[in-house]
Amino acid sequence: MASKISRAKSASKATPSPRRVPWVAVVGAAAVLGAGSAVLVLRQPAAEQATEAAAPAGAEAEFQQRLAELRARVAARPGSPAELADLARLYHVNGYNDEARAAWLELHQLQPNDARWPYYLADLARTASDPAGIEEWLRKTVEIAPDYAPAWLQLGELAFKAARFEDAERAYRRRLELVAHDPYAAFGLARVKFQTGRRTKGKQAIEELLRATPGFSSAHNFYAEILAQENKTEEAADARWRGTTSGRFRAADDPWLEELRDWCYDPDQLVVWGEIDLQTKRGDHGRKFLERAVALEPDSSRAFEKLGEFYLEQREPEKARQTLERGKHRAGASESLYLGLCRAYEMLQRTADALQATEDGLAIMPDSSALYSSRGLLLGSMGRFDEAVESMRKSIELAPGSPSAVSSFGLLLLHAGKRDEAIAQFKRALQIQPRFHQALTTLGRLELEAGRPREAANYIRPFFDQFPGSRAARDLMSKLYIGFALEAVRAKNEPAAEQACREGLEIVPDSPELHGFLGTFYAHQNRVPEAIASLEASDRLRPNDPRTMLPLAQLYQASGQIENARRLLARAEAEARRNGQSDAAAQFAELLRRLPR
Amino acid sequence: MRKPLLLTLTVLAALAAGWGAVALYFSTQAKPANNRAATQPESVATTPMQLEYVPEPIGAPASEFVRPLISHIEIVDLDQDGIADILYCEGQKNSVRWIRQSPRGQFTEFVIGENIPGPVHVAAADLNGTGRLDVLVASMGRILPTNERIGAVVVLENLDNQRFEKRVLLEHAARVTDLRAANLAGHTDGRLDLVVGQFGYDQGETRWMENKGNWQFESRIINTQSGCIHTPVADFDGDGRPDIAALISQEWEEVHLLRNLGGGRLADQVVWGSTNEDFGSSGMTVADVNRDGRPDLVVTNGDALDYSGAGTRPWHGLQWLENKGSGFFQYHRIGNQVGAFSPAVADLDGNGTADIVTVSAFGDWGRPNASSMIAWLNDGRQNFTPVVLARTPTHLITVAVGDLDGNGVPVLVTGGFHIFPPWKDMSSLTLWRRK
């Protein structure tokens, strides 16, 4: 019988059997291959890693830092409403809506009697266009805080827009109980009346509202079109003017939402708030948003642009200049920024710098019609006419549909004494846009200067129709009727001259020029009482105008009203001295001296 | 047999172990903090592309306009030769243009209207029963904000499908943004009346102009609010008479139904609105979205033209108002899209449902994921899935959908409106065919 043979191993070296070596190597290689493949596939490219790994800069960095601080505070004091509320505010106003919602919900659980939390949830629902959510949380808000007026206004608006007019009316009335004479609620109630077929009452309600709150632009604008519907053209035009001069619509004050804004680190959002305040005549209020935007994102030009615009409106050209110069060097500097900078330099009477601003802008925006136009006007003012014309032609070539470019060319030609060519450009501007106001007013003035009031009327009347309340339109209208009166005087048609003045005064009853002209006219006709009445009216409307005071004083004297004459001449002398007009002052003093005692 | 199998399994296990170890390592690396971008609308559209379109420039090149301001496009067979054409208006040269398709596939552009300041809407209708389609043009006078009364109602009377005579039917009015034709007065001789939306600025209105014949029209103001953008016409209340829906923006942000009561009377009623006065209503169209036989309304909000730089808003996007009958509409939010404009409805994917396409006129174009055109695909139950169709060209403010190829497959045409920077990726008209 054969037996199994064992081979003894040498004591010095263990030699693996040939079959185990491939196993280990293969398995090891497979593991390495697996790992290597994973590294190649899963590892991000270096650039992306660098991007992620790099610290955020500017506003984002500040926001992240603040976020980290608040998160740490919340983590350190879990369940503490104060910390959680701060974090929620930060989330809410910086666009972290899901996180904000979760935080407000938690706060609502922790503090069910604080109405701010459901109110903020309603605001988030509005952002998400969730009307059911808005209503739910607003109802909760007023349940807890029945006196928070902004919530009632929102409930009213929500119901109105869903055509639930009874609910809307209830909510608006509650708002009015809390905020007496609130124009928003009053306007809402008026609109409910219109929607429910009570037009007459609705119109009356708007009229009452406008008497109580004459600055509420939406009501003016709405009312203007009601008048237009009724074919009351002139009243509609007047209402439109009031609406426009009242400024843009501004949402009702809301302290709880307002306090969130201090937590905003989003420069774009801050600029929007600042811009809204600028447009709604609350520039001072908006200034802080713009300044914060500039501080948060010093590399973005947009905030600088808006802040510069604010300073220009405040007539602070040096601040505007400094701000816009800083903004110019930031990425994304816009055409508006350069135009604003140009304007700032013009206000500072630094024409060469203004020109440089346009050229800096054109270097990066070579197809900007507006910059070429500004450049052209500046070159013209510096006597570089040929270059100015070239710039204007370029402006028009870039924006052939723009009446502004063409009209600016007309202004250039006018200033260069090329009247006929200028007129052709203004007329061309009117072909592009039939009521372009710069062309209308300039052509109107030119026709008046040429002694052609009937032709001037073709331009001045459309301008006045659009802007009946503007000083410029009223002045031009006065001049137009004075022009008619002078034409009649030259034709020796005195009744027509008087009629022209009277017609003008029906349209522009507050015109000191028309009153003054009529007074002088009556004086020449020896109609002393009428002359005095007209000149007194002129003096009331524009006090201390020597062109009125001198003839009026003479008339007073001629009619035996010595004391009136004395008072007037004394006032005239004092005014002349105040203005440094020593010759005029001396003249008035001499007349005073000659008055009988 | 067992040993090779065992070896194979072991190798695979080793591969997986190696991979898994590395994957585990990467997963434990620190992640970045919550990023505001993750909640921005653009990141919502993460659905893999199900539709692809191929762009093709058409009409006058962008260079002709320097910075094109294509404000509106309409696909219509203007000469009624059985082949759809393209009608559009633009605000750089203030012209109205007809891209005639004849024969099919061959496009020739004609300028049919000039010196129409700020044209923003075109439509075709046979106003006087001549058998030829006239072109209705809404003229704002100036597209950028102003309250000047420089709006006009302009009709290009079609004389012979080649010549068009310009008629100005209303001028010196609040800026006109929409102009359509409808038989509101119940004419029986082919006359159509005009529906006029007037945005204005501080003041505006919506009116209708009754066609008295011989190019005489009598105006009646129906709504007295500023901000009217679109006035689509349909029989919304099912009484057999055409009604008007008005999208009213500015501080109002409302949709109104102007119901035709017959006898020349129209009644104004609000049917929906947003309490967000910065909502940015931007466009509205009518379509039977849920195919229940009642015309619904599809509305975009994406306008930020008032603010320089036209920043993004998280609430921009798309919604539809379901017509429940009797003047009642139910609101449904569809989705978010920065700068959304110009909703157009068509069955884009051929499944028999009403899909929607929108474009983006204002976007954060510096972001790589900013989209300029999105399709919203309807699953048949009015659940919409967004699909990004394009990221360039940018600044698209209008899109029209129509069967330009005559094969039943909708073709898209977009228009570029480059009123804000950046001045790259510009376009005038682009035709998009499904790939």
Token couple for A323: 């701000």
Contact A37 B18 (CB under 8 A): yes
Shared domain for A241 and A154, answered yes or no, is: yes
The DSSP H or E segment spanning B349 is none
3-state secondary structure of A524: helix
- What was the pLDDT predicted at B44? 43
Contact A334 B421 (CB under 8 A): yes
CA distance A265 to B308: 19
Beta bridge partners of A300: A331
CA distance B215 to A479: 39
Cβ partners under 8 Å of residue B345, min gap 6: B285, B287, B289, B298, B354, B355, B356, B401
Q: Which residue has the higher pLDDT, A78 or B322?
A: B322
Token couple for B262: 């017959």
The DSSP H or E segment spanning B392 is none
Token couple for A128: 């998400």
- Tokens 């379509």 identify what position? B287
pLDDT band at A18 (very low <50, low <70, confident <90, very high): very low
**B-chain residues near A19 (CB < 8 A):** none
Helix locations, A17-80, DSSP H: 20-42, 46-53, 58-76
Contact indicator for A441, A459 with CB cutoff of 8 Å = yes
CA distance A210 to A23: 95
- What was the pLDDT predicted at B92? 93
Q: Which CATH number do you get for residue A173?
A: 1.25.40.10
Cβ partners under 8 Å of residue B181, min gap 6: B123, B125, B127, B136, B192, B193, B194, B195
Q: A 433-492 residues with CB below 8 A of B?
A: 433-437, 462, 465-466
CA distance B156 to A52: 57
- What was the pLDDT predicted at A420? 95
Shared domain for A25 and A71, answered yes or no, is: yes
Does A393 map to a domain? Answer: no
Residue type, B149: R
Shared domain for A193 and A89, answered yes or no, is: no
pLDDT, averaged across chain A? 89
- What was the pLDDT predicted at A5? 30
- Among B146, B251, B274, B275, the strongest candidate for a mutation testing the A interface, having the largest count of A CBs within 10 A, is B275
> How do residues A374-419 score in pLDDT, each as one tens digit?
999 999 999 999 999 999 999 999 888 788 999 999 999 999 999 9
Residue type, A282: R
Q: Which pairing describes strands B193-198 and B205-213: parallel, antiparallel, or unpaired?
A: antiparallel
- What was the pLDDT predicted at A278? 81
Residue type, B320: W
Does A124 map to a domain? Answer: no
Size of interface A-B (CB pairs under 8 A): 200
The DSSP H or E segment spanning B121 is strand B119-125
Burial B270-294 (b: 16+ CB within 10 A, else e): bbbbbbbbbbbbbbbbbbebbeeeb
CA distance B265 to B186: 11
Burial bucket for residue B177 (CB in 10 Å: 0-12, 13-18, 19+):
buried
Query: Any chain A CB within 8 A of the CB of B145?
Result: no
Q: Which pairing describes strands B384-390 and B373-378: parallel, antiparallel, or unpaired?
A: antiparallel
Q: Which residues of chain B have pLDDT under 50?
A: 26-46, 49
> How do residues A224-269 score in pLDDT, each as one tens digit?
999 999 999 888 988 888 888 888 888 999 999 999 999 999 888 8
Shared domain for A548 and A595, answered yes or no, is: yes
Q: What's the total number of domains in chain A? A: 3
- What was the pLDDT predicted at A14? 36
Minimum Cα–Cα distance from A228: chain B residue: B221
Examine the fold and report which residue of A93, A111, A129 is the final residue of a domain before the chain moves on. Answer: A111
**B-chain residues near A240 (CB < 8 A):** 147, 202-203
3-state secondary structure of B207: strand
**B-chain residues near A272 (CB < 8 A):** 307, 311
Contact indicator for B374, B361 with CB cutoff of 8 Å = no
Q: Which residue has the higher pLDDT, A388 or A39?
A: A388
Q: Which residue has the higher pLDDT, B138 or A14?
A: B138
* Position A2 pLDDT exceeds 60: no
**Quick one: angle between helices A317-328 and A301-313, nearest 10?**
170
- What was the pLDDT predicted at B24? 54
Contact indicator for B394, B425 with CB cutoff of 8 Å = yes
Q: B 164-203 residues with CB below 8 A of A?
A: 171-172, 202-203
Nearest to B67 by CA among B401, B394, B399: B394
- What was the pLDDT predicted at A15? 40
Contact A334 B308 (CB under 8 A): yes
Examine the fold and report which residue of A219, A245, A271 is the final residue of a domain before the chain moves on. Answer: A245
Sign of CA dihedral A584, A586, A591, A597: positive
* Mean per-residue pLDDT, A51-77: 81
Does A93 map to a domain? Answer: yes
Nearest to B413 by CA among B99, B108, B92: B99
CA distance B416 to B109: 17
Shared domain for A154 and A101, answered yes or no, is: no
CA distance A40 to B291: 51
The DSSP H or E segment spanning B44 is none
CA distance B74 to B99: 10
Q: How far is CA B420 from the centre of its chain?
A: 19
Q: How far is A400 from chain B (nearest CA, A)?
A: 6
> How do residues A82-140 score in pLDDT, each as one tens digit?
999 999 999 999 999 999 999 999 999 999 999 999 999 999 999 999 999 999 999 99
- What was the pLDDT predicted at A434? 78
Among A222, A244, A275, the residue with its CB nearest the CB of B147 is: A244
* Position A7 pLDDT exceeds 70: no
DSSP B251-312: TT-EEEEEEEEETTEEEEEEEEE-S-TT--EEEEEEE-TT-SSS-EEEEEE---TTSTT---
Q: How far is A326 from chain B (nearest CA, A)?
A: 18
Among A64, A99, A244, the residue with its CB nearest the CB of B202 is: A244
Q: How far is A71 from chain B (nearest CA, A)?
A: 11
Shared domain for A105 and A16, answered yes or no, is: yes
Q: A 402-441 residues with CB below 8 A of B?
A: 403, 431-437
Does A389 map to a domain? Answer: no
The DSSP H or E segment spanning A96 is none
**B-chain residues near A334 (CB < 8 A):** 308-309, 421
* Mean per-residue pLDDT, A65-72: 94
Among B10, B26, B150, the residue with its CB nearest the CB of A27 is: B10
Contact A401 B92 (CB under 8 A): yes
Does A293 map to a domain? Answer: no
CA distance B108 to B103: 10
CA distance A222 to A199: 13
DSSP code of residue B57: E
**A-chain residues near B315 (CB < 8 A):** 126-129
- What was the pLDDT predicted at B2? 63
E strands along A433-529, which residues? none
**B-chain residues near A38 (CB < 8 A):** 18-23
Question: pTM to 2 decimals?
Answer: 0.81
Contact B205 A275 (CB under 8 A): no
Does A136 map to a domain? Answer: no
Does A571 map to a domain? Answer: yes
DSSP A363-409: HH-TT-HHHHHHHHHHHHHTT-HHHHHHHHHHHHHH-TT-HHHHHHH
Query: Any chain A CB within 8 A of the CB of B219?
Result: no
Q: How far is B403 from chain A (nearest CA, A)?
A: 33
SS (H, E, C) A22-37: HHHHHHHHHHHHHHHH
Rg (chain A; Cα; Å): 38
Burial bucket for residue A345 (CB in 10 Å: 0-12, 13-18, 19+):
buried
Query: Any chain A CB within 8 A of the CB of B9?
Result: no
Among A38, A161, A249, the residue with its CB nearest the CB of B272 is: A161
Query: Any chain A CB within 8 A of the CB of B314?
Result: yes
Q: How far is B183 from chain A (nearest CA, A)?
A: 21
Examine the fold and report which residue of A245, A276, A303 is the final residue of a domain before the chain moves on. Answer: A245
Contact A249 B250 (CB under 8 A): yes
Helix locations, A230-368, DSSP H: 233-245, 255-258, 267-279, 283-296, 301-313, 317-328, 335-347, 351-364
Minimum Cα–Cα distance from B321: chain A residue: A162
**B-chain residues near A268 (CB < 8 A):** 309, 311-312
Query: Any chain B CB within 8 A of the CB of A69?
Result: no
Contact B36 A95 (CB under 8 A): yes
Minimum Cα–Cα distance from A434: chain B residue: B150
Among B150, B221, B277, the residue with its CB nearest the CB of A225 is: B221
CA distance A290 to A302: 9
* Position A322 pLDDT exceeds 50: yes
pLDDT band at A433 (very low <50, low <70, confident <90, very high): confident
Contact B202 A243 (CB under 8 A): yes
Which domain covers residue A548, as residue numbers? Answer: 528-597
Token couple for A333: 């500097």
Contact indicator for A93, A260 with CB cutoff of 8 Å = yes
CA distance A107 to B231: 45
Does A269 map to a domain? Answer: no
**B-chain residues near A151 (CB < 8 A):** none
DSSP code of residue B106: -
Q: Which CATH number do you get for residue A577?
A: 1.25.40
CA distance A549 to A572: 7
3-state secondary structure of B220: strand
Query: Any chain B CB within 8 A of the CB of A133?
Result: no
Q: How far is A35 from chain B (nearest CA, A)?
A: 4
If phi > 0 it is left, if psi is from -120 to 50 it is alpha, else beta; for residue B118 that is: left
Q: Which pairing describes strands B281-287 and B265-273: parallel, antiparallel, or unpaired?
A: unpaired
- What was the pLDDT predicted at A38? 58
CA distance A146 to A174: 9
3-state secondary structure of B334: strand
